[in-house]
Amino acid sequence: MSRYLVTGGAGFIGSHLCQRLCAEGHTVRVIDNLSTGRRENLADILSEIEFVEGDIRDVALLAEVVQQVDCVLHHAAIVSVPASVEQPLVEQEVNAVGTLRLLEAARQAGVGRVVFASSASVYGNNPQMPKHEDMPPEPESPYAVSKVMGEHYARVYSQIYGLEVVGLRYFNVFGPRQMPSSPYSGVISIFVAQMRAGESPTLCGDGHQSRDFVYVGDVVEANMRAS
């Protein structure tokens, strides 16, 4: 069995990862500042994990939590595009610089591999379908830029220091524990909440828009295979 650190582990995706890791018998440590994550997401496994309430911008704390870890699943981030437009400096500090600090801490601690959450937003509005990894990034928001920067840092740490890093570009993730009231929530959780309340789903625009969705269980499986 392996020892995992899950950053953002109390969040939507992170909590599902922790559940899977515990089910497979791995040792799990979580760091989350609970800005958007919730302890309730980990209620069923809280006694099985080590939970650290803290921020990945805390360099000293980050150096502590990566100790004696085989793999890091990095999901701590500000995931809102509108928030990145309103506060681009904060977005870069958490997402881009936070990823850099994590990579450096992992390198210093001798972590075997880092798997991190990137985003399909790096593609911008390129109409080419299907998307593929070799397409040049065309970020159109501070959030997307921060994810591209994270990928570049990951590549550099792999090439220069030999740190094993895998980046996963998520499209729109949906599934249980995604809060429909959250500004970060996807349209599927909002539609489901409306229909459960006996309401008709609210469609914006002319209804011809399309978007690519991925189930959170599939995201978890991708992380497990990448780790």
Question: What is the rounded average pLDDT of the residues 61-90?
Answer: 95
Residue pLDDT, tens place only, 203-216: 777 777 777 889 99
Lowest mean pLDDT among 120-129, 143-152, 158-167, 175-184: 175-184
Q: Which residues pair with 32 in a beta bridge?
A: 53
14/99 Cα distance (integer angstroms): 16
d(CA 17, CA 99) in angstroms, rounded, equals 19
Three-state SS for the chain is: CCEEEEECCCCHHHHHHHHHHHHCCCEEEEEECCCCCCHHHHCCCHHHCEEEECCCCCHHHHHHHCCCCCEEEECCCCCCHHHHHHCHHHHHHHHHHHHHHHHHHHHHHCCCEEEEEEEHHHHCCCCCCCCCCCCCCCCCCHHHHHHHHHHHHHHHHHHHHCCEEEEEEECEEECCCCCCCCCCCCHHHHHHHHHHCCCCCCCCCCCCCCCCEEEHHHHHHHHHHHC
How wide is the angle at C-alpha 105 spanned by C-alphas 101 and 107, nearest 5°? 115
Q: pLDDT at position 184, please?
A: 53
pLDDT of the residue at 181? 64
The CA distance from 60 to 6, in Å, is: 17
CATH fold of 3-173+213-226 reads Rossmann fold (3.40.50)
Percentage of residues in the chain with pLDDT exceeding 70?
A: 97
pTM: 0.92
The pLDDT of residue 28 is above 70: yes
- pLDDT at 178 > cutoff 90: no
Residue 179 has pLDDT above 80, yes or no: no
Mean pLDDT of 8-35: 98
- Pick from 68-72, 100-104, 180-184: least confident: 180-184
pLDDT in tens, 45-75: 999 999 999 999 999 999 999 999 999 999 9
Residue of higher predicted confidence among 125 and 21: 21
Residues annotated as catalytic (active site), given as ranges = 143
pLDDT in tens, 111-133: 999 999 999 999 998 888 888 89
Where is average pLDDT lowest: 2-6, 44-48, 172-176?
172-176
Q: In angstroms, what CA-CA distances link 70 with 37, 106, 124, 126?
A: 24, 10, 34, 37
Average per-residue pLDDT in the chain?
93
Rounded Cα distance, 139 and 125, in Å: 8
For the chain, domain boundaries: 3-173+213-226
| Angle separating helix axes 216-226 and 12-23, nearest 10 degrees | 60
